[in-house]
Amino acid sequence: MADRERGDGPGRPASGDPRRGRGARRPAGSGLRAPAGADPARDAALAAEALGSGRLRLALQPVRPATRPDRLCFREALARVETPDGALLSASRFAETLERQGLAPALDRAALALTMGLLRRDRGARLSVNVSATTVGDRRWSLLLDAAAETDPDAARRLIVELTETARADPAAALAFRDRVAARGAAFALDDFGAGHADAEAARALRPDVLKLDAGLCADDAAVAVAVALAWELEAMTVAEGVERRADALRLAALGIDALQGRLTGEPVCQAA
């Protein structure tokens, strides 16, 4: 595949560690279009139906070194639902409703299965996948990762699991989940740091391999500096989310951020079904 990860992830930790940094992509031009106005109930119904009919898709967005934007650290696998008329729904359109309906673990299991399939097919790929707080205690998700790691340990070592909504997860359960992920060779990321979902206390307790800074926090230089110092303490890679402007990329790199994600580094690219 084009634009492969070059095996030299940014900053800390050491570049050869497969638990740090991931990637893979399909060329642009999928022909799929974005749908019109959001309708949470309709979108959630379409997502629930897609989980049972195989219409869940992944769109991969690159995460690039802050000082080497021509290279690739990894790609985040973002859930998309293909509607019957060929449009795509992003997870922001249905994830909260599915969670209220108790279907978030099913969504996370489907996304994990698709991500592991991509990792098995592309031996150069390094990918991250999201997991909601409600999935932390889901035994079926853990068994799915167990089976995938036993079948293909190398693919599991090229996976990052991003935990979102950390404040809503039981601390002991979150730590046990982090340990299960690590035991299978995958890396662990704390998502949306600084957005109220993840804070310094949670980061120190969970000791993530990757600390992903919320776009809102990234606008505050002092807050970024504090997060970078925390990441150094934890020996974690830092990723600034929501980066759209070159000036912001330069500013964040100067503050010590390791990697960038956002429209500047590349839009999500939908994968073939």
- Residue 12 confidence class, pLDDT cut points 50, 70, 90: very low
pLDDT digits (tens, 9 = 90+) for 35-65: 556 677 777 787 777 777 777 889 999 999 9
Note the pTM of the prediction, 2 decimals.
Answer: 0.84
The answer to whether the beta carbons of residues 108 and 137 sit under 8 Å apart is no
Pick the more confident residue, 28 or 33.
33
Q: Is 18 left (phi over 0), alpha (psi -120 to 50) or beta?
A: alpha
Whole-number average pLDDT of the chain: 84
- Average pLDDT on 250-265 reads 98
The residues, ordered by sequence, that sit 6+ positions from 48 with a Cβ below 8 Å of its Cβ are 98, 101, 103
Give all domains of the chain, ordered by start, each with its CATH number: 40-270 (3.20.20.450)
Angle, CA 31 vertex, CA 26 and CA 35 arms, to 5°: 115
- Residue 11 confidence class, pLDDT cut points 50, 70, 90: very low
Check whether 92 has a pLDDT greater than 90: no
Which of 71-80, 83-92, 160-169 holds the top average pLDDT?
71-80
- Average pLDDT on 1-6 reads 35
pLDDT digits (tens, 9 = 90+) for 218-237: 999 999 999 999 999 999 99
- Give the span between the Cα atoms of 37 and 21, in whole angstroms: 35
Check whether 171 has a pLDDT greater than 70: yes
Q: What is the DSSP string of 237-268?
A: EEEE-S---HHHHHHHHHTT--EEESTTT---
The answer to whether the beta carbons of residues 136 and 169 sit under 8 Å apart is yes
Burial class (CB within 10 angstroms; exposed 0-12, middle 13-18, buried 19+) of 70 = exposed
pLDDT digits (tens, 9 = 90+) for 119-157: 999 999 999 999 998 899 999 999 999 999 999 999 999
